[in-house]
C-alpha cells in the first residue's frame, strides 16, 4: 500500500525533477574552487584554533581552581563537633534532644496552644541565629573556652524552652479537662 503512494508521488513530480547535465568542465571548476577555499583556511585556522584552545584550557583551570577554593572555605564549619570528639558527642546529644522535643511539641499542636508554640519557635530561631554568630566567634577566637561554654549554654537554653512549652501544654490540657469535668464536692 505504501509503495503505491510513493509511485503516485513520483508520477506527480515527474516534470519537476532537474535532469539537465552540467556544462563541460563543471567538475574541474568545482574542485578548483574547493581547493582554493581549503588552502586559504589551512593557513589561518591553526593560529586561531591554538589561541582559542589555550584560552579555553586556561579558563577551565581558573574555574576549577575557583570552585575548589570556594568549596574548601565552605567545608570549614566550626561548631562544637570540630573542637573535639567529646564535644561532638555533646552536640549530637543536644541536637537529638532538641529534635525529640520538637517532635513532641508538633504532635500536641492544636489551635488552643498555637500561640504558645509559635512564640517558642521564634525564641528558638533567635537562639539559632545567636549560635551561628557563636560559630563565627569560635573560628575567630581559636576555640576559646568561653565561646564553647556559650555554645553549650545556647543548646541548654533551647532545650529549656522546649521543656517549658511541653509543661505549659500539659497544664493547658489539664485546665481544659477540669473546665469540662468539674468535680462535685
Question: Which pTM was predicted?
Answer: 0.55
Sign of CA dihedral 108, 114, 116, 118: positive
Residue 87 · residue 80 · CB < 8 Å? yes
Q: Domain spans of the chain?
A: 29-75, 78-180
The pLDDT, as a whole number, for residue 10 is 77
d(CA 166, CA 127): 18
Instruction: Give the tens place of pLDDT for each residue, 51-62.
Output: 778 777 877 888
Mean pLDDT by 10 residues, the chain (185 residues): 74 75 82 76 55 78 79 63 84 91 88 88 92 88 86 93 91 84 60
Distance CA 138, CA 131 (A): 10
Q: According to the model, what pLDDT value does residue 93 have? A: 92
In the prediction, which pLDDT does 43 show?
52
Contact (Cβ atoms closer than 8 angstroms) between residue 80 and residue 147: no
Amino acid at each position: 500500500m505504501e509503495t503505491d503512494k510513493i509511485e503516485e508521488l513520483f508520477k506527480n513530480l515527474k516534470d519537476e525533477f532537474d535532469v539537465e547535465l552540467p556544462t563541460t568542465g563543471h567538475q574541474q571548476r568545482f574542485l578548483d574552487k574547493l581547493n582554493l577555499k581549503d588552502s586559504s583556511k589551512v593557513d589561518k585556522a591553526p593560529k586561531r584554533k591554538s589561541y582559542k584552545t589555550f584560552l579555553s584550557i586556561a579558563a577551565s583551570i581558573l574555574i576549577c581552581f575557583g570552585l575548589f577554593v570556594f568549596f574548601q572555605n565552605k567545608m570549614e564549619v566550626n561548631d562544637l563537633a570540630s573542637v573535639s570528639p567529646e564535644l561532638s558527642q555533646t552536640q549530637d546529644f543536644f541536637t537529638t534532644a532538641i529534635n525529640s522535643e520538637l517532635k513532641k511539641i508538633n504532635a500536641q499542636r492544636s489551635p488552643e496552644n498555637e500561640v504558645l508554640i509559635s512564640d517558642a519557635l521564634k525564641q528558638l530561631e533567635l537562639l539559632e541565629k545567636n549560635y551561628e554568630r557563636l560559630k563565627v566567634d569560635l573560628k575567630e577566637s581559636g576555640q576559646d573556652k568561653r565561646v564553647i561554654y556559650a555554645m553549650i549554654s545556647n543548646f541548654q537554653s533551647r532545650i529549656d524552652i522546649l521543656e517549658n512549652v511541653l509543661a505549659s501544654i500539659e497544664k493547658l490540657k489539664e485546665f481544659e479537662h477540669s473546665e469540662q469535668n468539674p468535680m462535685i464536692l
